[in-house]
Chain A
Amino acid sequence: MLDKIKKIKKKALTELEKINSLEILRDFEVKFLGKKGEITVLLKGMGKVPPENRKEVGQAVNGCKIEIRAKVEEKEEKIKEMIIEKDINRKDFDITLPSQPLPHKKGTIHPVVIIQNKVEAAFEQLGFKVLDYFEAEDDWHNFEGLNIPKDHPARDMQDTFWLKDGNLLRTHTSPGQLRAMHDYPPPFRAIFPGKVFRYEKTDASHEHTFHQVEGLMIDKNLSVANLIGIMKILLEAIFERKVDVRLRPGFFPFVEPGFELDIKCMNCNGKGCQVCKYSGWVELLPCGLVHPNVIRAGGLDPDEWSGWAFGLGLTRLAMMKYKISHITHFLGGDLRFYRQFTEGGLK
């Protein structure tokens, strides 16, 4: 019996040595270790072994099995490695062969982009430029130049991701105000959408990365009445329905006067419901006349030029529109989420 085991083992190892493909390795496994494999059969034949030898023979068979199993695994790794090596070193792959069309499938645009496209289209019709600015910013553009000096409490409210090179991830799209004033001669009007970052832990309704769009208009003699007028027609274009707005005082260092703009709750038409916390109004966006210090920081004379600005949360708008409960889906990478938003298209 022990001889037989030795013989089988030797045979197996010799065969294994020659194997150079995964298919043959599978066959080998079946042949030796499978249900009817040679080694399995040996184990089944244990009954015939005299009781005094059983222990010794049993150990030998099991040892043999374990050894061969280990060698098979080793071999498998080797073959896989070999396949990979062969694959990445192949010389016969002709990249100039014709391309192959993709089978038809329905694609989707990211929900924030669907909303962003709507917003951009509305503003473009009124002659706003759509601009795009950096996500990593310096302290001056994100704070100092926006009238938020070093020890200003507003810096606490906007917990910031700081970079080791001394820069930061912008906490709002407002740095674009300074960059746009620098890049384009007045008068002009522009919006700049993009990613913004706040240093905070994430949960269903908080996310450290989200999307905003900032709007800026620089002209002579702009007034609060202008701001209300434009915001109203733009929001009507975005929501594609009549919108009632109201302004409340709101404090943001880069505007003066500053406002919170509320819209009449679209869920209940102002009658009061859970969405609007029974007030009839929903807080939508901060806005205001650009602070003279900011106009000055943008390189313009505040006695000559005036401006108004607003910041609108695109992520929040998308959540409102599609009633999305978890903000972390937007950047979560799960295709089951993105595939749900089939709207949007050519802009």
Chain B
Amino acid sequence: MKISMNWIGKYVDLNGIDLNELSNRFTLSVAEIDEVIKIKPKSSNFYITKVDEVKPHPNADKLRIAVCDLGNRSQEVVCGAPNLHSGMYSILADTGAVVKDPKGKEFTLQETKIRDVKSSGMLVSPSEMGLSLDHGGIIELDNSLAAGTPLDQAVSLQDTIWDIDNKSLTHRPDLWGHVGIAREIASLLHRDFNYNLTKPDFSTENPLEIKVEAPVLCPRYTAVKISKIKIQPSPLWMQLLLFHTDQRPINNIVDFTNFVMFSTRNPLHAFDINHIKDNKIIVRRARPQETITTLDGEKHDLIGDDLVIADNQRAVALAGVMGGQNSEVISSTSEIVLESANFKAGSIRKTASRHGIRTESSARFEKSLDPDFARQAAWMFCELVNKNLPDSEISSKWYDLSAVVDQKVVISISCDFIRQKLGNSISNQKIVKILKSLDFKIDENGDQLKVTVPSYRATKDISIPEDLVEEIGRIFGYDNIKPQLPAVTMNKPFYLPIKKVQNLIRNELSIELGFNEIMTYSFVKEDLLTEIGEKIQDRVALVNPISKEEPVLRKYLVPNLLEAVLKNERNEEKIRFYELGRIFKPEQGLPLQPQMAGVVIADPELENDDEGTLFFQMKFVLENLFSRLERGQVEFVANNNFDLPWIHPAKSAAVIVQDKTVGYLTSLNPYISKNLQIKSKVALGILDLDLISSLEKKIKLFQPLPKYPGISHDVSIIIDNNISRKEVEKVLWQVEPQLTRKIECFDVYTSKKLKNKRSLSFRILFQHPEKTLKQKKIKKIHQKIVKTVKEQTGGTILS
């Protein structure tokens, strides 16, 4: 919202004030100013002029010659503006004046000839004056300034404009106009706030009939009839203020309603009474199938929740949002009804969004305006009409239909409470002074204050003592409050088990094992699921997905991780990444949202992975993770019960800790690779971190160091493929359990020659607790191994 300091100057004296400092103060105490714009036009050689006569141009159809009255002299200028007419008042830029060309570049006017006709100066458009981008015609003025008056003597052309972020005003309906901003400034500057309206003389003739049928949606409706109006341009000072705040002057009545709204905050609407049937105005809910065409030419189908202003037959305005075309004020209008009303915020907000019209009017009403603003606006408008159109007449009484219950908001508060909340020793006196400067009424009783909130702050802004603390704090200045660390109680040391698990996993994967941590969206694409062979049913679905392609939340990490493999496999060689995040499963109440880990190893260059290299690398990763997690030994068990399409039935295993399945690892099912056209070979490791962190902590205990050296003994066993390494190892442990310390499988050899067999090589460490073992003993053990292995597994030992 644009705020003009000239406009503010009508209500508070800004003489001698450093406007830069003021804008900083305002940002710190009231609301953020996005930008301060200084308007400093070059204004010499501009004059008010009256066009006495318009003559045709001898050599051009589109140009005309204006004979301009400059008081003591007359000057002829060539003009192409369509709105040029004899008798009009405008602004003439004489030779030497600096004006702007259509591209905004400044140039100095010189005497010139246009199509062989001498032209001294020009009649200017708003864009040539630098007031707006509008160059549709020359500026039109009323006759309040005499022809020949130098412009810089008639009005102040310089101004300072604040552009305030509307968002920072959403909770302050009273700041949506200059009067409200001026009051804050007066309080900040400790200066007087001059805003007084006198009640106009309302006549009692010409009765109107006003009826409010929906008082809940329209707490206050006021109307007055004004006759003998002449539609003409508004005065220059007003046009300038409107230009400076980004409004386009139209004509006096429209400009007055805008000026009043940007001052008092209350939107107004003027109806041409000739188009109001039977002088009757009814505020009612829209009827079934009712429609209205608004001022912007759009036709709207209305529903019963929309509030309309209607005459005896039809809707003439969409209440508080926009007027109807059928009763618009036009150049021939001579008699109007001025509406100044208060409408219910929620209803205006819904109507505006339902019909997609956001106007200055709806933006204000939906903030909950003070119903008293309706009075102020009506009175200010009448004052403007009286002053600027002396021939006009207020020709009805002031109809004021109010359903507002005058309920004062009174807050009891102690000064100590304020001091405690702010953490500052501000005095009672200062507190009272600040509140009074903001128009609060105070009933003082020592430290206790009874504070009456002004009506315009009570609509939704201020209702509890904490709200008053904010008022004191911001005007006192938060930068005047000294930072202070609180005295606090010691808390027990605390950590969330899941956070610890996540941090350990991160460190192991990212720091130790060379993985990149990634994150993907919590949504999953439907076509991705389709290609994988999953349905979108039985997932948490969105009412308003960001795109139709992503209608559900992820139930597994894997699809998004596979998408990441696809995205990266063209740029990468060895891919290792992981994601830690929540997945979502439908459930009564809130969805289940377990924290998961998804680990991916992918190799775009690997031709085939019959050996399962990636699988065993993933196994390595998981073994390493669990060696850190203090949850005991991890086991990998073949399992055909996983019902997930990306699991490879042969190359997969359940991850088991403390007898619980906490996840799985698998080579990517080749059908999924085919469907998704993933060229990489992929291994996946998936863990349920919530489950893992809920498990009991297990600490691996110290093992005493051996006193006597041990002997390592290697055996290679040729054995059937379907007997696992684990089974063989188990047999080896049984041979000499007292002396065996460690068994490690260090080589696996397969060859076509071995047919359905392979060679497994083990290194066994033998150690005696009380003596050094002799080679002879090992030889004996070896015989025993050969025998046992043959008997129990059918394997044969080489050597």
Contact = CB atoms under 8 A, between A and B. Distances in A.
Say if A and B assemble together: yes
12 contacts: A92-B756, A95-B638, A102-B514, A105-B514, A130-B495, A162-B542, A195-B522, A223-B484, A248-B478, A331-B520, A346-B507, A347-B507
A338 B670 CA distance: 28
Contacts of A201: 546
Contacts of A112: 519
Contacts of A258: 470
Contact of B420 (A138, A202, A223): A223
B726 A163 contact: no
Listed from nearest, the 10 A-B pairs whose CB atoms lie closest are: A225-B423, A223-B423, A105-B514, A257-B470, A99-B620, A96-B726, A229-B483, A92-B721, A333-B564, A99-B619
A225 B541 contact: no
A177 B619 CA distance: 40
Contact of B721 (A94, A134, A249): A94
Contacts of B494: 129
B582 interface: yes
A157 B589 CA distance: 26
B196 interface: no
Contact of B613 (A100, A208, A225, A260): A100
B237 interface: no
Given A108-B516, A151-B346, A187-B489, A134 B612 contact: no
Interface in A230-269: 230, 232-233, 246-251, 256-260
B511 interface: yes
Interface string A257-293: 1111000000000000000000000000000010110
Given A94-B721, A335-B518, A249 B470 contact: yes
Contact of B511 (A113, A209, A345): A345
A138 B506 CA distance: 30
Contact of A229 (B485, B495, B576, B590): B485
A134 B593 contact: yes
Nearest to A169: B522
Given A110-B517, A201-B546, A257-B421, 4 more contacts: A94-B724, A102-B617, A224-B423, A335-B575
A9 interface: no
B540 interface: yes
Contacts of B670: 83-84, 87-88
B650 interface: yes
Given A94-B725, A224-B481, A335-B572, A153 B543 contact: no
Contacts of B544: 161-162, 199
B721 A131 contact: no
B799 interface: no
A21 B730 CA distance: 38
Interface stretch (B215-223, B328-336, B744-752): B744-752
B488 A127 contact: yes
A135 to B, nearest CB: 6
Contact of A222 (B474, B486, B649, B727): B486
A304 interface: no
Interface stretch (B113-121, B164-172, B241-249, B277-285): B164-172
Contacts of B470: 249, 256-258
Interface in A95-111: 95-110
Nearest to A161: B542
Interface string B650-663: 11110000000000
Contacts of A167: 590-591
A335 B671 contact: no
B495 to A, nearest CB: 7
Nearest to A130: B499
A223 B28 contact: no
Contact of B488 (A117, A219, A223, A228): A219
Given A107-B509, A131-B496, A257-B473, A136 B478 contact: no
A88 B648 contact: yes
A99 B616 contact: yes
B478 A333 contact: no
Contacts of B503: 117, 347
Interface residues on B, range: 35 or more
Which of A83, A100, A226, A306 has the most chain B CB within a 10 Å cutoff?
A100
Given A246-B478, A257-B466, A188 B491 contact: yes
A89 interface: yes
Contact of A247 (B478, B590, B636, B725): B478
B193 interface: no
Interface of B: 27-32, 167-168, 170-172, 346, 349, 366-367, 420-424, 464, 466-467, 469-470, 473-474, 478-479, 481-486, 488-491, 494-496, 498-499, 503, 506-507, 509-522, 540-546, 553, 560, 563-564, 567-568, 571-572, 574-577, 581-582, 584, 586, 589-591, 593, 595, 601, 610, 612-613, 615-617, 619-621, 623, 636, 638, 648-653, 669-671, 674, 721-722, 724-727, 744-746, 748, 756
A185 B486 CA distance: 19
A97 B572 CA distance: 28
A225 B483 contact: yes
B506 A109 contact: yes
B32 A129 contact: no
A317 to B, nearest CB: 16
Given A99-B616, A127-B491, A161-B542, A249 B553 contact: no
A74 interface: no
Given A162-B544, A333-B564, A153 B349 contact: yes
Interface in A33-67: none
Contacts of B601: 102
Contacts of A162: 542-544
B27 A101 contact: no
A219 B486 contact: yes
Contacts of B615: 95
A113 B620 contact: no
B725 A96 contact: yes
Contacts of B522: 135, 169, 195, 197, 209
Contact of A164 (B485, B541, B564, B727): B541
Contact of B483 (A110, A188, A232, A259): A232
Given A226-B423, A256-B466, A165 B519 contact: no
A91 interface: yes
A280 to B, nearest CB: 10
Interface centre among A83, A97, A161 (most CB of B within 10 A): A97
A203 interface: no
B567 A334 contact: yes
Interface in A291-308: 291-292, 306
A335 B602 CA distance: 13
Contacts of A247: 28, 478-479
B409 to A, nearest CB: 15
Contacts of A189: 488, 491
Interface string A308-336: 00000000000000000000001101111
A336 B573 CA distance: 12
A96 B724 contact: yes
B576 A110 contact: no
A167 B512 CA distance: 40
Contacts of B724: 94-97
A132 interface: yes
Nearest to B725: A96
B486 A88 contact: no
Which of A90, A151, A164, A258 has the most chain B CB within a 10 Å cutoff?
Answer: A164
B489 A289 contact: no
B567 A333 contact: yes
Contacts of B467: 256-257
Given A92-B756, A106-B514, A291-B466, A330 B29 contact: no
Contacts of B623: 99
B636 A335 contact: no
Contacts of B581: 195
Contacts of A101: 617, 620
Nearest to B571: A336
B140 to A, nearest CB: 38
Given A225-B484, A248-B27, A136 B636 contact: no
